[in-house]
Amino acid sequence: PELYVTQVFIRVPPHIDAARARGQARESLFKQRRAAGLPPFALDPKLDEIATRYAADLAAGVERIGAGAVANRALADVAISYAAVLTVISVVGDPADVAATAIGDARMMAYGLGVAQGHDNELGGGALYVVLLLGRAR
């Protein structure tokens, strides 16, 4: 007979300051942008406000569909400023793990970033919900 043993290593994310986590996520995104040879994004306060609310709703346990509907209604007010707004949602244990394939898209010019900590079935209570909204130039 054969016996297969699997060992799973996980790290429970610690509770961290939301402002610090947001700064780490932003720095990670900016490093990725620099590595792609592109200029940094401009912060759009409206996109930032929407992303912050979206992340907070997800971290509080609001269903993704409901939280997304609220964000979509709010995005309708800023849609005129951009050709498109891309939404990237990540649930990570470390803010530096945030990645977005759209970082390398030179047409993406502005961003809003929301980070909130809440419970996730896989990561536990220290999960970081990161919402990145990227505005594409007209």
- Confidence at residue 95, expressed as pLDDT on a 0 to 100 scale: 86
The mean pLDDT value for 12-29 works out to 85
Q: 21-67, pLDDT tens digit by residue?
A: 999 999 999 999 999 899 989 999 999 999 999 999 999 999 999 99
Burial of 46 (0-12, 13-18, 19+ CB in 10 A): middle
pTM score: 0.86
pLDDT band of residue 113 (cuts 50, 70, 90) is: very high
Residue 104 has pLDDT above 70, yes or no: yes
Residue 105 has pLDDT above 90, yes or no: no
Answer positive or negative: Cα dihedral of 13, 21, 34, 41. Answer: positive
- Confidence at residue 1, expressed as pLDDT on a 0 to 100 scale: 64
DSSP letter (8 states) at residue 122: T
Q: Which long-range contacts (CB under 8 A, 24 or more apart) does 23-27 make?
A: 23/95, 24/94, 24/95, 24/96, 25/95, 25/96, 25/98, 25/113, 25/115, 25/128, 25/130, 26/113, 27/96
Asked whether the beta carbons of 118 and 60 are under 8 A apart, the reply is: yes
